[in-house]
Chains A and B, each alone.
Chain A
Amino acid sequence: MSTASEIEACLPIRSDMDLVWVRQHVRQAAALLGFGLVDQTKLVTAASELARNTLVHGGGGQMEAAPVTAGFGHGLRLTFSDSGPGIPDLDRALSDGFTSGDGLGMGLGGARRLVHEFEVESAEGAGTTVRVISWVNRPPRGREEG
């Protein structure tokens, strides 16, 4: 497997230029870890949605990338954090069509469908942290779970 140093990173998310760096890093890291083309595309798209949420709704923040291993293989973990206003109603924010910005309301719920594991921690006034993991060569989880 490739060196962890090329995959581990902590990137700032302060402007739309930073979104480009985030996407490029995630693509490069996913390729190094051996993700297939479709899975790379899904992961980069999810990262783009989440980084944009961090920028637009969280007022900026950062993304940490790290390789992870488990019994069944290895994957990539991405953690997006901001110290913005937080999400008061998480269930609502995860439903399709919900938007508080000028997006299409696909950000959080859509990103969740593109990754294997998805966790949000948020409280009103206390910022938001979204942690996602995708595993290499693992079939996507069933629709009923998402």
Chain B
Amino acid sequence: MNEAYPRPEAGHVPVLRLGDILLVTLQGDLHDSTAQQLQQDLSETIVSAGVTGVVIDISGVEIVDSFLGRVLAEIAAQASLLAARTVVAGMRPAVAITLVELGLTLPGLLTALDTQAAMALLEQPVVLSHAGRTRRERA
């Protein structure tokens, strides 16, 4: 009966470079192994490409469970150690509601409503506030 469903993609998620920013678009239902592969690929690409920001567009992701939530948080933490900021863009409202109810508020994660807003956020200089969280500096 598995044949009734479209076959989910396994393997690598494309990572696009736009200037100083890496753009990743997650779509549909991600395998655990694909998410972990992305985590590894991104760290390597941040260093090899010398970028200062990462945007992860999750507008096409129907659910974020604790595994994917952890991967997103770890990507942001790794990127931060490699001098790059990560913005998760386009989370669906139902996903946000579910994550909070699940108990996963991901406080360290920078978010934006869409990719464009995420790119704009990364172009702004930042000041560090408490707990290492970043916010926009007033121009």
Residues of A with Cβ closer than 8 Å to B?
9, 16-17, 19-21, 23-25, 27, 37-38, 40-42, 44-45, 48-49, 52, 96, 103-104, 106-107, 109-111, 113-114
Least CB distance, A117 to chain B, in whole angstroms: 16
User: Shortest 7 CB-CB distances between A and B: which pairs?
Assistant: A41-B94, A16-B32, A110-B102, A48-B65, A106-B66, A38-B94, A20-B8
Give the one of B1, B65, B95, B101 with max A CB within 10 A: B65
* Cβ B94 vs Cβ A17 within 8 A: no
Residues on A with beta carbons closer than 8 Å to the beta carbon of B5: 21, 24-25
Give the shortest distance, in Å, between B102 (CB) and chain A (any CB): 4
Given A19-B31, A21-B2, A104-B70: 18 more A-B contacts, CB < 8 Å? A17-B8, A17-B10, A19-B32, A24-B5, A24-B8, A27-B62, A38-B93, A42-B94, A44-B63, A45-B63, A48-B63, A104-B104, A106-B66, A110-B103, A110-B104, A111-B102, A113-B101, A114-B102
Contacts of B8 in A (CB 8 A): 17, 20, 24
User: Smallest CB–CB gap between B105 and chain A, Å?
Assistant: 11
Q: List which B39-96 residues lie within 8 A (CB) of chain A.
A: 62-67, 69-70, 92-95
**Cross-chain contact A109 with B97 (CB below 8 angstroms):** no
A116 to chain B, nearest CB (A): 13
Q: For the complex formed, measure the closest distance between the CB of A14 and the CB atoms of chain B, giving whole angstroms.
A: 12
* Nearest CB of B to A11, in Å: 8
Cβ of B94: which chain A residues have Cβ within 8 Å of it? 37-38, 40-42
| Distance between Cα atoms of A21 and B62 in the complex (Å) | 14
Given A23-B63, A45-B102, A110-B104, A103-B95 contact (CB < 8 Å): no
The 8 Å CB contact of B31, one of A17, A45, A110, is A17
A103 touches B70 (CB 8 A): yes
Q: A16-B33, A21-B2, A52-B67 known; A38 and B97 CB under 8 Å? A: yes
Give the docked Cα–Cα distance between A52 and B63 (Å): 14
Closest beta carbon of chain A to B98's beta carbon, Å: 5
**Cβ B103 vs Cβ A106 within 8 A:** yes
Q: Is the CB of B63 within 8 A of A20?
A: no
Identify the interface centre among B31, B62, B66, B93: most chain A CB within 10 Å of its CB: B66
Given known A20-B8, A20-B31, contact A103–B104 (CB-CB < 8 A):
no
A106 touches B31 (CB 8 A): no
A-B contact pairs, 15 of them (CB 8 A): A9-B1, A16-B33, A20-B8, A23-B63, A38-B93, A38-B97, A41-B95, A42-B98, A42-B101, A103-B66, A103-B67, A103-B70, A104-B70, A114-B98, A114-B101
